[in-house]
Amino acid sequence: MRGFLRLATALALAALAASPALAAFPDKPLRIIVPFAPGGGTDAITRSLGIGMAEALGQPVIVDNKPGAGTIIGTDAVAKSAPDGYMLVMATFAHAVNPALQPKLPYDTDRAFAPVALIGISPNVLVVRADRPYKTVAELVAAAKAKPGTLTFASQGNGTSAHLAGELFKSLAKVDITHVPYRGAGPAMTDLLGGQVDMMFATAAAARPFVSAGKMRALAVTTAHRSPAYAGVPTLAEAGVPGYAAESWYGLYAAAGTPKEVVERLNAAVRRAVKAEAFVKQTQSEGLAVDVGAPEELARYVRAEEVRWRKVVKDGNITAD
C-alpha cells in the first residue's frame, strides 16, 4: 500500500513539474488577433469579448489587428505562435473558405489550430446607401440586369462572408455585379457611404450603426430566417432570390498543441464573457445568436462549412485574386 501511495505521489508531482504553466495560466497578457482592419464587425465583437475575458482571466486581453491576404496574414501569425494559449485568433467565415480559395495556404487549416469556442452566428445584411433609388431587392436586381457589370459590391476581402454572400447572390439572382475587395469592413463601409461602391453584403455588426443612423438602407438579410435585430427586413429568399441562405460566424482558436487544460480555461472565460451585460446588449442589437459550446462543437461546425462553401467556390470558379 505504501508503495502504491509513493508511486501515486511521484506521478502527481511529475505531472505538476512537467506543466507548471498550467497552474499559473494566465500569468501575462493575452492577445487576440483580428485578421481585419479596425472598425469592422469582427473588431467590435472581439473588443467587447476581450473585456469580459480579461475580467474572467485576471489578465489584460489585447486586440491586435493584422489584416491582409483575406485573413491569412493574421491567421498565420497564430498558426506559427507558441502553443501556450497566449495568442488567439478570432476566426470568421473566411477561415472555412480559404482552403478552397487558396491551394497553397501557409498552414493546414484542419491541423494548425486548437478550437476554443464558437462565439455565435449572425446574418449578413444587403445594404445600400440611404439615398440610392433601390428600396427593394427586386429593384436592385432589375438595375443590375439593365446594366450588366456596372453595379459593384464591396467586401472586407476575398473569401470573406461579404464576398461569398455576393457571389451566391450573383449565381442565384442571375445578375452580373462586380466585386470590390477591401482590407477590412471599415474601409469598405467608408467607400459605400462615399458612393464609390453600390452595395455590400455586410456583417450585421458592421452594418448596424449605419442602418440605425439612417445612412444606409437594409434590403434583406442573408440567413434562412429573419433576424430580430433587423425587424421588418425580409430574407433574400423572401425578397425574390429562392434558395438563398448564408451566415457569418465568429470562433476563437489557439495554436495546435495548446494544452487541453489551457483550452478549457479559455473556453470557460469565453462562456463568462458572453454573459456580460455590455456584450449581450451589443450582440442582441446586431443579430448575433450567441451559442458557446465545447471546443469540439466549433471544429464540427467549421468542417461542415468547409464542405458547403467548397462546392460554391468550385461551381462559381471563384479565385482569391
**DSSP code of 234?**
P
- Give me the pLDDT at residue 3, please: 53
Answer yes or no: do 297 and 274 share one domain: yes
Answer yes or no: do 177 and 260 share one domain: no
Is residue 154 one of the residues assigned to a domain? yes
Answer yes or no: do 180 and 192 share one domain: yes
Is residue 290 one of the residues assigned to a domain? yes
The span from the CA of 229 to the CA of 283, in Å, is: 9
- Give me the pLDDT at residue 126, please: 98
Is residue 10 one of the residues assigned to a domain? no
- Residue 142's CATH number: 3.40.190.10
Domain hosting 130: range is: 124-230
- Give me the pLDDT at residue 2, please: 52
Answer yes or no: do 41 and 136 share one domain: no
Cβ partners under 8 Å of residue 2, min gap 6: none
- Give me the pLDDT at residue 315, please: 80
- Give me the pLDDT at residue 84, please: 98
Its pTM stands at 0.79
Answer yes or no: do 90 and 162 share one domain: no
- Give me the pLDDT at residue 13, please: 46
Average pLDDT per consecutive 10 residues, the chain (321 residues; last block may be shorter): 50 48 85 91 91 98 93 96 98 93 92 97 95 97 96 89 92 95 90 97 89 97 92 96 93 98 98 94 83 95 92 81 68
> Which of 230, 256, 271 is a domain's end point?
230
- Give me the pLDDT at residue 30, please: 98
Answer yes or no: do 88 and 160 share one domain: no
Give 65's strand partners: 34
Is residue 7 one of the residues assigned to a domain? no
Give 125's strand partners: 202, 221
Number of domains in the chain: 2
- Give me the pLDDT at residue 143, please: 97
Q: How far apart are the first and last CA of the chain?
A: 68
